[in-house]
Structure 1
């Protein structure tokens, strides 16, 4: 991934947070059938390994787990907030007309090596973890014990676990860091008005410019 220095995000705690808040990742692999991409919910354990470990499962019917071998290199892509940015939101555009449309976004690429787990103990523990995590916000959280034991046993036999030890994390947060403060604020206001405040808030946070209060003066020509 091409990452200009102004958009580089390398702080582990920030990258970990994006992964945990956006657990549906795209697993990119290269097996006997060539390139493949699978969309999977991951459980991330940042304390495991040297840079964290990702855990997921796939359907036994998915050929992915048969094509992969323990130790194969894979890539998992996690995407945060994203939005189209109109040049009309930049105050400087109305003075110089030297602005163009763009797209702002947050992504993390997790490079790692995979280990396959075709055993009930692993997948049972993983499903329990995923369930506890994502059912926590429900008024009455669903539990594995809510279903008949033989049904759960059959369902667990139908999946295979994947463990990915992360070897490298690359973060790209393209959030207008190369723009003037007033243009960042203008874009954030435009995003809020268009119903996509998350990207605008991320822009303001990344650049340290609050939305409220007077905009900072434009940079003087160099």
Structure 2
């Protein structure tokens, strides 16, 4: 991924936070038939490895897990807030006109060699952990044990685990850092006026970048 000096997200914790906040990863893996893409909700285990380890699962019917090579790296792309940036928001449009549209976004790319796991105890533990994370904010959190045991056993046998120890983690934050201050302020106002959750999230990133805080 190309990253200009303005858009580097150098802090490991910020990249990991982006992955946890936006856990549906676009996983691109090599296979004997070329590159294969799948979208997988991953759990990031920060305690395993210097950069963490990604844990997920795919359907047993999905051929990707049978095609994984032993040593070639996969990449998982996590997409944070993103938004079109209109040049009409820039005060510079009125003063000199030298402005064009652009697109702001925050992403993290995790690289590592993926392996498939069929152990049922490992898979059950993963399902319990994934569920706990995504149900934690609900008033009445659902638990794996809420469903009949034989039903869960059947579903567990229908999936295969995917584990990717992260060997390289690259983060990028494009939040108008290379624009004039007045145009960045105009961008925040323009995004806020859009009235959408996604635009509001990007407005917050632009504000944080202006304040020297690039947490995503």
CA distance in 2, matches of 1:149, 1:209: 50
CA distance in 2, matches of 1:117, 1:68: 12
Instruction: Assess if the C-alpha contact under 8 Å between 2:30 and 2:69 holds in 1.
Output: no
Unaligned runs of 5+ in 2: none
Show structure 1 runs of 4+ deviating over 4 A. none
CA distance in 2, matches of 1:191, 1:171: 23
Q: For residue 36 of structure 1, what is the aligned residue in structure 2?
A: 36
Query: Superposition pairs for residues 5-24 of structure 1, below 5 Å?
Result: 5-24=5-24
Unaligned runs of 5+ in 1: 211-222
Q: For residue 203 of structure 2, what is the aligned residue in structure 1?
A: 200
- Residues 179-200 of structure 1, C-alpha deviation per residue, up to 9 Å, x if partnerless? 1111111101100100211101
* CA RMSD of superposed structures (Å): 1.3
Q: Matched residue pairs, number?
A: 210
Structure with larger Rg: 1
Q: For residue 63 of structure 2, what is the aligned residue in structure 1?
A: 63
Q: Offset of 1:24 from its aligned partner?
A: 0.4
1:209/1:191 Cα in 2 relative to 1: closer, same or farther (>3 Å)? farther
Q: For residue 121 of structure 2, what is the aligned residue in structure 1?
A: 121
- Residues 143-169 of structure 1, C-alpha deviation per residue, up to 9 Å, x if partnerless? 111111111000000000011000111
CA distance in 1, matches of 2:100, 2:129: 45
Q: For residue 178 of structure 1, what is the aligned residue in structure 2?
A: 178
Query: Superposition pairs for residues 124-135 of structure 1, below 5 Å?
Result: 124-135=124-135
Q: Offset of 1:72 from its aligned partner?
A: 3.3
Could you tell me the TM-score, scaled by structure 2's length?
0.94
Could you tell me the TM-score, scaled by structure 1's length?
0.92
- Residues 114-155 of structure 1, C-alpha deviation per residue, up to 9 Å, x if partnerless? 122111011100000000010111221111111111110000
- Residues 93-129 of structure 1, C-alpha deviation per residue, up to 9 Å, x if partnerless? 1110100001000000101111221110111000000
Q: For residue 89 of structure 1, what is the aligned residue in structure 2?
A: 89
Select the structure with the greater relative contact order (CA < 8 A; seq sep ≥ 6).
2
Q: Offset of 1:209 from its aligned partner?
A: 7.5
CA distance in 1, matches of 2:51, 2:173: 19
CA distance in 2, matches of 1:17, 1:203: 17
Q: Offset of 1:47 from its aligned partner?
A: 2.0
1:209/1:57 Cα in 2 relative to 1: closer, same or farther (>3 Å)? closer
- Residues 7-35 of structure 1, C-alpha deviation per residue, up to 9 Å, x if partnerless? 11110011011011000001001101211
Query: Superposition pairs for residues 155-194 of structure 1, below 5 Å?
Result: 155-194=155-194
Q: Offset of 1:70 from its aligned partner?
A: 4.0
Instruction: Assess if the C-alpha contact under 8 Å between 1:73 and 1:112 holds in 2.
Output: yes
